[in-house]
Structure 1
Amino acid sequence: MHEDSLQSPGEELPGKPESHGSEITKKSLESSLRQLKCHFTWNLLAGENSLDDFEDRVCNQIEFQNSEFKATTYNILAFIKHHRGQNKEALECLQEAEELIRREHADRAEIRSLVTWGNYAWVYYHMGRLSEAQTYVEKVKQVCKKFSSPYRIESPILDCEEGWARLKYGGKFNERAKVCFEKALEKKPDNPEFISGLAIASYRLDNWPPSQNPTDSLRQAIKLNPDNNYAKVLLALRLQDMGKEEEGESLIEDALRKATRATDVLRGAASFYRKKGTREKTIEMLGKALECMPNNAYLHYYLGCCYRAEVIKLQSEKYGDKESLLRLIEQAVDHLKKAEEHNGNLPNIYSYLATLCAHADQYEEADYYFQKEFLKELSPGAKQLLHLRYGNFQLFQMRCEEKAIHHFLEGMKIKLRSKGKDKMKAKVQRLAEKRLFQNEADSEALYLLKVVAELDGDSERDMDSSNLLPSSSIAEAGNGEEGDGYHRAAAGGTPFD
């Protein structure tokens, strides 16, 4: 990826008609802008399909060190605001970043401000305020001249700033972020901030490439900065995966004592307790995080999934309390609806709402959410699971065997071997056999058994002829029952199937 792209992604540089003298100034300014190290020259939007998804990921999904590096966050927000066409708000964000740098990094304010000034220059340029853009280019130039460079310098601080920015964007940028921190550490090998960045990047890349091992980096980051509570949470999660849960929980407890309202720590702790199976603590951590970020779709979604799992657990108990069940359903639905208001693309969200409404005897609303889920672009596994759930809804709640059978067969037609497919096969077979018991000459029942046998045979042939089709659990197929890694649903004759 080339970091010196002329345009901010998706935009052309403005070309207002100007006098000949102004045009020369404009060309000179454009040349300077190309050389600045800032968000506008790092191609951060390259390959993005949706600005909404991009902003959602940056602002809501990815949390790290939210009690520190606030200037970095404001620079990112300014970049996003600009691409929203909100240049006034972008400038306000840059003012916040500049003030934070002056207050928190007074000893290195000039170098720390270079990225912010570069962003200022680009925003003013796109606003057509060329003289103000030139002012910030000159501010960058004055600092760089001290290092015998016109518009950019090689500095571990700037490498670190780029690394944090790329970490915040996540995804495909994690590898590049790791490179930035490694480069910074070449010049300052004991810098706690650089080591912390490398540790987080290594943790994110733990599964790719396989050789990555973030444990040592995380331990070193904590040793150099005992207040790095996010690193403690990441190390705890890593230790839990390694079977050292007790040591991990000690780190979690320490981080929570020292950072009671840090959402990155709370979310990480929630993940730890969820893996441990302590659902009450998971709900507690997510609830505290939600107090700080009340409109975060993902926190509402995870809480909704937690309460949904409690519904499934209570429903499976022979003498479950109906009043408690309805109260849990209400809590689950409330959080999932709030999540849906902010992001309707969360996995399984409409089918989760549908099945919960079905168990609250709200059949019309349940069908409404099922239809919304069918309208989404789903993976084969998610589509198959949806047919199973909707078929169960038709069979058990609406008492409509014909529609149930239709959806079970549609699910079976999807060329994916799964537990869900086996369940649909068994349900159709039972329904057909029940009809044959009543009338052994029932042609429709005989036809159903024939179709099931054919579909099952097709499935076996597909498995024999190709290794591309996954042999997976429902949870692995399109997030299945777990919804972003949370809660497996109970088996049985319910829409939760």
Structure 2
Amino acid sequence: MVHERDQRTKLDQLECDFTWALRKDDIDFNRLNEKLKLHVEKKEDLTHTYNALAYVKFLQGFLEEALSNLMTSLKLYKECHVEEFHKSLIVTHGNLAWINYHMKNYTECESYLQKVLKINENMSSESSSVPEVLGEKGWTFRRFSYKYHEKSKECFKKALDLEPEVGKWNAGYAIALYRTEYGEFTIENSPVIKQLRRAIETNPDDDIFKICLALQLGIYKSYEEAERWVEKALESSPDHPDVLTYAGKFFGKKGNVDRDIALMRHALELSPYSALTHHQLALCYKKKKIQLLQKGNHHVRGPEVQQIRDKIIYHLEMATTHATGFFKAMSDLALHYGEQHDVSRAEEMFHMTFETAKEKNDNLHVVHFDYAEFQFHCKRDEVLAIKHYMECLKMNPGSYEGKRSENNLKRIAEERINKNTQVGKAYGILGFIHKEKGEKSQAIECYEKALSYGENYEYLTNLCTLRLSI
């Protein structure tokens, strides 16, 4: 008879989704399910995709569906003429052992444990050093959450070091670098540009890399070469939703919003229920709206702007309908309800968005920023706007929203000082900014000025804390 405790010890030693520390709280299930569903529809990486789907279903409590997806993955491997004890099955067999353990099918669990053991016996290295395992681990980390992108990069780098000529490891490492490369580089020494070129060499039929390379080249203003890659990709993959979406982003960044919209609309025709594409199209129309407003003559352009705004709201509503809990689309939608002066609807949507972001523990600072914008521009409530700009800056000062919050707070403070109104509070705001940036002496100076204008206990507390920390 199989002993459950002994099985658990063996299970913990496996290399599979169940042992890779994929935290439920880090995962946006709606977006991940949509991405995996698109991979199934396009018949891309099906063995890996069904493995990932199985673990998602397990996390959601659907054990029978999880088992079914794993059996589909196993069947696909066999159709590819992979023998029963091939090293590419380490992850699938490991997942099957775990799911059967959770379903209390201990005999089946033991069977899959023995299969993994037999595969390991025929190998000269540990499972954790097998390129196929590293590759699957890398794709899993990349798919499940942006929080795992660095781990994904490490996995693909290890796989590539072991098999430098294999196209799929070059591809995986290129995308991982594309997601994680930050810092000062030139077009000649950028690791991601170098690796994207390598990925194109080893995967000449995959047009995603051509588009990604174009977007990277655009950062360095090498537009002529970039546009050649985009047009090549569109010519050979005119109906690939991802190619269309990335190409749209390229033209949008170049300022060609109409081409961006046309490509996104075509992508949506191919995937009409894609929440991500609806959201991207809404952002395209938002750029179009800004362009129209910047041209001036608002009285003449008013109806045209309203038409665009209606389209933005429609696509945001579709995005939130097709993916419940898509908090960024919800936040954008709330802002546009505010623009329409539908304040009660905006407040209700923001309340739902805050709850979703808190539940997912994901990008709450973005919602604070958007809510501050709503308060400042739509409700003209500067006090509440300041409060939420501060929350955003406190949570993530280095983010795009954090930097914009800092700039907005500075502008509000400087306007108050220039107009000689609420000057003490203005210096309190500046003190807060310096404190969050670690600029203690400047923060103390601002808080002392705030106190000289008779401001409150909060500034005195901050001042004392800063003095004691020096």
Q: Which position in structure 2 is the counterpart of 1:320? A: 300
Q: How many residues align?
A: 412
Select the residue among 123, 138, 154 that pairs with 2:114.
138
Equivalences for 1:168-183 in 2 at 5 Å? 168-183=143-158
Look at both structures and tell me which one has the larger radius of gyration over its CA atoms.
1
SS of 1:190's equivalent in the other structure is coil
Is 1:185 paired with 2:146?
no
String of CA shifts for 1:60-108, please: whole Å, max 9, x gaps: 5799997632221211110110111111111221122223333446589
**What's 1:270 paired with?**
248
1:334 aligns with 2:314: yes
Cα drift, residue 332 of structure 1: 0.8
**2:135: which partner in 1?**
160
Which ranges of structure 1 fall in alignment gaps of 5 or more residues? 1-20, 395-403, 434-448, 470-497
The alpha-carbon deviation at position 144 of structure 1 amounts to: 3.0
The answer for the alignment partner of 1:200 in structure 2 is: 175
Query: Separation in 2 of the partners of 1:263 and 1:274?
Result: 16
Indicate if the aligned counterparts of 1:314 and 1:320 stay in contact, CA closer than 8 A.
Answer: no
Provide TM-score, normalisation by structure 1. 0.71
In structure 1, the residue matched to 2:429 is: 459
Q: Is the 8 A contact 1:304 1:335 kept in 2?
A: yes
Residues 263 and 100 from structure 1, CA distance in 2 versus in 1: closer, same or farther, beyond 3 angstroms?
Answer: farther
Gap change, CA 1:87 and 1:455, over 3 Å in 2:
same
Q: Give RMSD over aligned pairs.
A: 3.8
Greater relative CO, 1 or 2 (CA 8 Å, sep 6+)? 1
- Is residue 144–residue 153 contact of structure 1 (8 Å, CA) maintained in 2? no
Partner secondary structure for residue 81 of structure 1: helix
Equivalent in the alignment of 1:220 = 198
Give ranges in structure 2 of 5+ residues lacking alignment.
394-404, 440-470
Greater Cα shift, 198-207 or 262-271: 262-271
Please state how far the C-alpha of 1:385 moved relative to its aligned partner. 6.2
CA contact (8 A) 1:117 1:137 kept: yes
- The answer to whether the 8 A contact 1:388-1:408 is kept is no
Q: How big is the shift at 1:382?
A: 6.1
SS at match of 2:181: coil
Q: SS of the counterpart of 2:306? A: helix
Confirm or deny: 8 A CA contact 1:101 1:109 kept in the other structure. no
Change (3 A) 1:269 1:105: farther
Deviations 1:6-52 (A, max 9, x none): xxxxxxxxxxxxxxx443xx34433332332211122222xx535xx
SS in 2 for 1:113: helix
CA distance in 1 between partners of 2:306 and 2:13 (Å): 61
**Counterpart amino acid of 2:180?**
L
Tell me if the contact between 2:410 and 2:430 (Cα under 8 Å) persists in the aligned partners: no
Which of 346, 370, 375 is residue 327 of structure 2 equivalent to?
A: 346
- Cα separation, 2, equivalents of 1:334 and 1:340: 10
Q: Is the 8 A contact 1:35 1:152 kept in 2?
A: no
Structure 1 segment 69-84 matched on structure 2, within 5 A: 69-84=45-60
* Aligned counterpart in structure 1 of residue 94 of structure 2, from 118, 130, 134: 118
Q: Which amino acid counterpart does residue 282 of structure 2 have in structure 1?
A: G
- Please give the secondary structure, in 2, of the residue aligned with 1:260: coil
**Cα distance in 2, alignment partners of residues 105 and 58 from structure 1:** 29
The alpha-carbon deviation at position 387 of structure 1 amounts to 4.5
Measured against aligned partners, the alpha-carbon deviations of 1:447-497 in whole angstroms (never above 9, x if no partner) come to xx64x322223334455666448xxxxxxxxxxxxxxxxxxxxxxxxxxxx
Identity %: 26
1:44 aligns with 2:25: no
Distance 1:275 1:123, change over 3 A: same
Q: State the distance in 1 between where 2:284 and 2:151 align.
A: 35
- The 1:369–1:147 alpha-carbon spacing in structure 2 relative to 1, beyond 3 Å, is closer
**Mapped partners of 2:344, 2:128: distance in 1:** 63
1: CA distance, partners of 2:184 / 2:137: 22
One-letter amino acid of the structure 1 residue matched with residue 139 of structure 2: W
> What does the per-residue CA deviation read over 1:257-281, in whole Å, with 9 as the maximum and x for residues that have no partner?
2233433323322221221112122
